[in-house]
Amino acid sequence: MSAPVRIGASSFLNSRPLLYGLGRGPARERIHIEHTPPSECARRLSEGEIDVGLLPVAAIAQLGLYALPVGCVSSKGRVESVLLVGQTPIDTWKTVALDRSSRTSAILARLLLDARGKSDIRYEVRDPHEAAATATGDRGALLIGDAALELQGRFAYRYDLGEMWTTWTGFPMVFALWATREPVIDPVILADLQEAVEAGKGALSQIALAHAVEQGEADAEPYRRYLSDSLAFELGRKEREGLAEYLRRANAAGLLPPELHFASPMPNRAPQRAGIDAILSRAATGKRISVAEATRLLDEAPLAELGAAADERRSQLHPEGKVTYIVERNINYTNVCTTACRFCAFFRAPGREGGYTLSWDEIGDKLRALKSADGVQVLLQGGINPDLRLPYYEELVRFIKGHGLRLNGFSPEEIHCLAELEETSVEYILQRLMEAGLDSVPGGGAEVLVDRVRSKIARKKATSAEWLEVMRLAHRLGMRASATLMYGVGETSFERALHLSKLRDLQDETGGFTAFICWPYQDGGLKLRGDQQGAGEYLRMLAVSRLTLDNFENLQASWPTMGPTVGQAALHFGANDFGQVMFEENVVSAAGSVFSMDAAGIERHIRDAGFSPVRRDGLYGLLEAA
């Protein structure tokens, strides 16, 4: 017998009618149910940890997954479990905390607030209980699912988004659908899911009763009314129309792709997909493409056409023909590291020969050399050295800032591990470093933000969620940061595209990234075998990054790893920045060749590529016309 299909869904009361029948009868033999929050469900489905997931509609559209044409969680009008709440009336709100566990409801809230003329409202993304706690004064919060049912009584003002949507459009609101990664679905599983809808609809009283018992409530009637009067589970004609209307309005607001693709039950009748040309022309004008479309560009688009589309997008964002660069210096203050990434030839395990931590004199010499070359910024990164504690880092930051230089320091990996070492929160570490003078955070250590890939690179590496959370917190505290991708470490094209979409999602949320840079894994005969990546592969990855990261302004050309000529070509494949003058580089160069150039060389290469070179500061502000 083949392995059961892994189905992921939240344990919210509103999902239970769709799951009820799957745990009974013959379907139980074919299906294994895993309870997961809706936002986690999207990640798990994308990364292949489950085969089918009950996902927010927005996540399906953004990730380019395939919806299944059976069952849904929708509201007929008033929904009770998707609410905007506050202690003051909605029209007084200046900030709204969005519950991070459903993108569909977060987008719905934005659409409805825009329609009320509240387009200047500020949004923050929070965990459910945190969102509720912030809803005081002129702040509102979005609550969904069981948290909404449980917490709504605490608020003086409650606005039901299902009711607001239906009043506004006349349609039901579809919140969640079954989805898969593939354009086809086993018809037997599809039939199981369809039959489960029928079984669930017939068992609403039992489901409500079971929920009441779990909650310690004596009366199940409110739960039964919620399931039968507020929600609907059949994906009928009206629900499909409501779904189309939601996507149309969200797309017009620049928040979602215009449509959903549905999987077909017949293996030999996959749905028609948009042509590569259509994807390229959409992306070239800054319209959002899905993860599946970005994957297709990586796999199928002709390189020249990809470059032309990325160049068109670059020239829309940077029409003046200027290419920026910065005079900054890498300082790798220690090479002692416990993370032991398999690709890294730079680090030494604690106590091993060759391990170092730079003295203040050595760092001071480097800073003076940088100042005398008109340098403006230090890029500070090092290993995860268990002997260095928070006071050392604060002193290091103050020492560098004392030389009058901007400081871009400590990758999310370093910050995350320091918080673990100090047994405190990442936010506290960031605050202390900021108070000492840290200006921004470099995006090192992202590699590929998919845990299957990260665990191959190093077992001890921070997870992709931890890396993103450090960035989220840094952005919230007001620090800007860069984002990176090191590809060619055994990931699939889909995983590269997924990495880009995770960065894009966080940028939507915070706007805190200044730039993106990608480069290939340098195979210096080390333990991790990745594909050797050529110039064509690099230019393809860069161009797809420019087209997928529609909310990033700046993309750097990675000439130190690819060479100056490929760096020049990169300026025609989406890059608008030529990186930094190279004083030294220790991490990547330890595993492979790294090119080096001074400011005159950089300017000559930019001019020869047909652009005007301009020096910039660490926040991409122009310093002077070179």
Shortest distance in whole angstroms from residue 173 CB to ligand SF4: 45
Phi-psi region of 537 (alpha: psi -120 to 50; beta: other; left: phi over 0): alpha
- Residues in CB range of 116: below 8 A, 6 or more apart: 90, 91
Sign of CA dihedral 147, 152, 157, 162: positive
Which among 59-67, 261-269, 274-282, 341-349 is the span making contact with ligand SF4, rule CB under 6 A? 341-349
Shortest distance in whole angstroms from residue 521 CB to ligand SF4: 11
SS3 for 595?
Answer: coil
Residue 340 binds to ligand SF4 (criterion: CB under 6 A) = yes
Q: Considering the complex, state which of residue 72 and residue 587 has its C-beta at the smaller distance from ligand SF4.
A: 587
CA 468 to CA 416: how far, in whole Å? 11
CA 381 to CA 408: how far, in whole Å? 9
Shortest distance in whole angstroms from residue 411 CB to ligand SF4: 7
Determine the number of helices (DSSP H) and then strands (DSSP E) in the chain: 26, 24
Q: Considering the complex, state which of residue 339 and residue 561 has its C-beta at the smaller distance from ligand SF4.
A: 339
Site for ligand SF4 in 558-587 (CB under 6 A): 587
C-alpha torsion angle, residues 104, 110, 111, 116 (rounded to 10) = 150
Which among 136-144, 178-186, 304-312, 342-350 is the span making contact with ligand SF4, rule CB under 6 A? 342-350
Q: Considering the complex, state which of residue 270 and residue 340 has its C-beta at the smaller distance from ligand SF4.
A: 340
DSSP state of 532: P
- Whether 26 contacts 229, CB under 8 Å: no
Q: Considering the complex, state which of residue 119 and residue 593 has its C-beta at the smaller distance from ligand SF4.
A: 593
Site for ligand SF4 in 377-416 (CB under 6 A): 383-384, 413
- Whether 19 contacts 210, CB under 8 Å: no
Give CB contacts under 8 A, 24+ apart, made by 300-305.
Answer: 300/276, 301/276, 301/540, 301/544, 302/276, 303/536, 303/539, 303/540, 303/543, 305/276, 305/277, 305/280
Among 243, 344, 479, 483, binds ligand SF4 (CB under 6 A): 344
Q: Considering the complex, state which of residue 341 and residue 446 has its C-beta at the smaller distance from ligand SF4.
A: 341
Which among 78-86, 213-221, 336-344, 506-514 is the span making contact with ligand SF4, rule CB under 6 A? 336-344
- Residues in CB range of 154: below 8 A, 6 or more apart: 85, 132
Q: Considering the complex, state which of residue 349 and residue 600 has its C-beta at the smaller distance from ligand SF4.
A: 349
Residue 530 binds to ligand SF4 (criterion: CB under 6 A) = no
Phi-psi region of 189 (alpha: psi -120 to 50; beta: other; left: phi over 0): alpha
Q: Considering the complex, state which of residue 337 and residue 473 has its C-beta at the smaller distance from ligand SF4.
A: 337
333, two tokens: 């203050």
List the beta bridge partners of residue 518.
485
Q: Considering the complex, state which of residue 161 and residue 474 has its C-beta at the smaller distance from ligand SF4.
A: 474
Which among 42-50, 241-249, 337-345, 352-360 is the span making contact with ligand SF4, rule CB under 6 A? 337-345
CA 134 to CA 594: how far, in whole Å? 48
Residue 347 binds to ligand SF4 (criterion: CB under 6 A) = yes
Q: At what angle do helices 276-284 and 303-317 cross, to 10 degrees?
A: 20
Which among 170-178, 234-242, 339-347, 428-436 is the span making contact with ligand SF4, rule CB under 6 A? 339-347
Which ranges of 402-442 would DSSP assign to H, the alpha helix? 412-421, 426-436
97 φ/ψ angles, rounded to the nearest 5 degrees:
-90, 125
Among 346, 393, 519, 578, binds ligand SF4 (CB under 6 A): 346
376 φ/ψ angles, rounded to the nearest 5 degrees:
-120, -15
Give CB contacts under 8 A, 24+ apart, made by 146-155.
Answer: 146/12, 146/13, 146/81, 147/99, 148/80, 148/81, 148/82, 148/83, 148/85, 149/13, 149/80, 149/81, 149/226, 151/85, 152/83, 152/85, 154/85, 155/85, 155/86, 155/87
Shortest distance in whole angstroms from residue 434 CB to ligand SF4: 22
DSSP state of 36: -
Shortest distance in whole angstroms from residue 39 CB to ligand SF4: 27
Q: Considering the complex, state which of residue 297 and residue 419 has its C-beta at the smaller distance from ligand SF4.
A: 419
Sign of CA dihedral 472, 473, 479, 483: negative
Site for ligand SF4 in 167-206 (CB under 6 A): none
Shortest distance in whole angstroms from residue 467 CB to ligand SF4: 12
Q: Considering the complex, state which of residue 106 and residue 336 has its C-beta at the smaller distance from ligand SF4.
A: 336
With CB under 6 A, what is the number of residues at the site for ligand SF4? 11
Q: Considering the complex, state which of residue 341 and residue 473 has its C-beta at the smaller distance from ligand SF4.
A: 341
Shortest distance in whole angstroms from residue 341 CB to ligand SF4: 3
Q: Which of 499, 414, 497, 489 is nearest to 456 (CA)?
A: 489
Q: Considering the complex, state which of residue 66 and residue 467 has its C-beta at the smaller distance from ligand SF4.
A: 467
- Residues in CB range of 323: below 8 A, 6 or more apart: 571, 575, 576, 577, 578, 606, 609, 611, 612, 613, 614
Shortest distance in whole angstroms from residue 418 CB to ligand SF4: 12
Among 337, 419, 453, 566, binds ligand SF4 (CB under 6 A): 337
Among 83, 341, 441, 481, binds ligand SF4 (CB under 6 A): 341
Among 36, 46, 339, 554, binds ligand SF4 (CB under 6 A): 339
Site for ligand SF4 in 446-485 (CB under 6 A): none
Residue 441 binds to ligand SF4 (criterion: CB under 6 A) = no
Which among 108-116, 132-140, 293-301, 340-348 is the span making contact with ligand SF4, rule CB under 6 A? 340-348
Shortest distance in whole angstroms from residue 383 CB to ligand SF4: 4
CA 424 to CA 429: how far, in whole Å? 8
Residue 331 binds to ligand SF4 (criterion: CB under 6 A) = no
Shortest distance in whole angstroms from residue 336 CB to ligand SF4: 9
How deeply is 248 buried, as exposed, middle or buried, from its count of CB atoms within 10 A (0-12, 13-18, 19+)?
middle
Which among 159-167, 273-281, 344-352, 519-527 is the span making contact with ligand SF4, rule CB under 6 A? 344-352
Shortest distance in whole angstroms from residue 331 CB to ligand SF4: 14
Interacting residues toward ligand SF4 by CB under 6 A: 337, 339-341, 344, 346-347, 383-384, 413, 587
